[in-house]
Chains A and B, each alone.
Chain A
Amino acid sequence: MKQTIIPLGPYHPLLEEPEHFKLYVEGERVVELDVEIGYNHRGIEKLSEGKTWDQVPYLVERICGICSTSHPMAYCLAVEDLVGCDIPKRAQLIRVVVCELERIHSHLLWVGLAGHFIGYNTVWMWAWKYRETILEICEKLTGNRNHYAMFKPGGVRRDFNKEQIDYGLERIVEMEKPIRLLTDAILDDPVIHKRLKGIGVLTKKEAVDYSALGPTSRGSGVPWDVRYDEPLDGFKDLKWKVIVQKDGDVFSKGVVRLLECFESISLIKQALVSLPEGGAIDADIREVPPGEGCGRYEAPRGEVFHYVRSDGSNMPYRHKVRAPTFNNLPTFKASCKGETIADVALITASIDPCYCCTERVAVVDKNNNEKILREKDLLKLSVDKTKSIMKKLGKTPPLYNMEI
């Protein structure tokens, strides 16, 4: 059959950031794929060599707007590995709280976007509505919705006070029920099952061959999670488990992300409750001796790896940054082959693109400014629709709780 090349990108409505995919197709099936990146190259590693050890966290925070705590975290761990100091317990737990909050908001963002990509905008608005609460908690605890600037080599910059801890605990406990509702609704939805199951399968062997990371590898049955494999001191006393799914398709990656939200909620609760009274939040690193260190931390998308080398001056001699997508992007070569063009955009989304924005929904009567469709009504509409579709497909309706 004749082979055709279809370009996807660099600028395309379904790609949140410029990337260029060349799809070699026969009919509608993709037989080969070529990825070109580099449209966003900013030279962060070179810039970092001209910043002092204390300035670099601000720089690496701006690598990604969504993983804005994972990069400083991995950098701080790398410097601490180089210096060899112990971090106070309180600082460790504050780090856990901020990082896990970021994980929930990033995963909810992905779930919303995945819904948007398959034309299911209810999921998109619903997931992002709950993400808004998480961002409010972030704002209350750290002062910012994104780019928290909380970390420094040796500890954290700001402490939590009693009021903040109480607020965080109260809101995060509140969030468990609505996220459970969202998860159940998505996992029960026959449309989502039909659209996402069996699409873009990455087998376990391929995931290992490409060293895929994060939910991309855990969705394929490879249980790599740096938080578990190389736990920080703060993680050692907390109870949680690594979520692994076996199928390797887009659906599995979604399930991993959704279920991880609950582990994160549990981790935040445990960390906030066990936060020791008072005490130092900073190990006070005064100088960085010559040497080298590796820091790795599990970002929402996978392991972030930072390597620093010092020659004894006040700036890094070399600072290497490896974001998880660097390992995850080449997996498309395996997961896109044999799929249709329409599925490729979805598979590319399955490793999680970056995007930052918020949405809310309320239908308002123009004449008297009164809300005629409230959240409960919308929820009821969507539940009824799901039930009717399931009936058509000959499946039993879901039995989840409809109350919020």
Chain B
Amino acid sequence: MSKEIMKDLKKKLGKKITDMAQPREKRIYIRVEPDKTPEVVEFLFLKYKCKFCTATGIDMREGIEIIYHLAREDKNMVINVKTLIPYSKLEIGSIGKKIKAFRWIEREINEMFGVKFIGHPDMRRLLLADSFPKGKYPLRKDFKHSDVTDEDYDYERSGI
């Protein structure tokens, strides 16, 4: 069963995939270039009957890696789409533009890692306070708790 899905994905996505791995029976990891990522994820969600689980941002030092986790429930398979965005150009096309389910997680990755999602309809902060200093990204590896002090908070922006 899982081999069939691998074959099927390879046939349908073809050259868009740069790497593919299946370390466990129910997990598939696909690596894709950043500019092809929205296309691949939209295909998996809209045409391949996948459910959106979540997306993870990881600071890999050379760039920010984003993993979109999708699940095909009728085949018991979690399909993970990975892409590495270099620090020199931290932006990627938004999937939330088309699919509502991705909007919140893109907002979260934007505030936590500073990745810009092009075309996202509503790029406000989701979890962090409005007064949290601009240009600080808490989930990056170089962020320390001492980086942000009380004086850095911009309370005027939050209206307090």
Contacts and interface: CB of A to CB of B under 8 A. Distances in A.
Contacts, number: 76
Contacts of B2: none
A210 B104 CA distance: 11
A307 B56 contact: yes
A230 B26 contact: yes
Given A320-B54, A330-B100, A37 B27 contact: no
Interface stretch (B8-16, B32-40, B121-129): B121-129
Contacts of A303: 53
A326 B24 CA distance: 27
Interface residues of A, number: 33
Interface residues of B, number: 33
A305 interface: yes
A209 B27 contact: no
A208 B69 CA distance: 16
A143 interface: no
A377 interface: no
B139 A307 contact: no
A84 interface: yes
Contacts of A333: 100
Contacts of B127: 37-38, 41
Nearest to B53: A305
A333 B104 CA distance: 13
Contact of B56 (A38, A209, A210, A320): A320
B76 interface: yes
B80 interface: yes
Nearest to B130: A38
B118 interface: no
B67 interface: yes
Contact of A326 (B29, B56, B104, B128): B104
B56 A318 contact: yes
A376 B67 CA distance: 56
B54 A322 contact: yes
Interface in A275-334: 291-294, 296, 303, 305, 307, 309, 317-318, 320, 322, 326-327, 329-330, 333
A291 B24 CA distance: 12
A327 B53 CA distance: 8
Contact of B128 (A41, A208, A224, A330): A41
A81 interface: yes
Contacts of A327: 52, 54, 101
B90 interface: no
A230 B54 contact: no
A211 interface: yes
Q: Nearest 9 pairs between A and B by C-beta?
A: A322-B54, A211-B52, A320-B56, A38-B127, A41-B127, A211-B101, A229-B73, A318-B58, A305-B53
Interface of B: 23-24, 26-27, 29, 51-54, 56, 58-59, 67, 69, 71, 73-74, 76, 78, 80, 99-101, 103-105, 125-129, 138-139
21 contacts: A38-B125, A41-B128, A81-B27, A210-B100, A211-B51, A211-B101, A230-B26, A230-B76, A293-B24, A293-B27, A294-B27, A296-B71, A303-B53, A309-B58, A318-B56, A318-B59, A320-B56, A326-B104, A326-B105, A327-B54, A327-B101
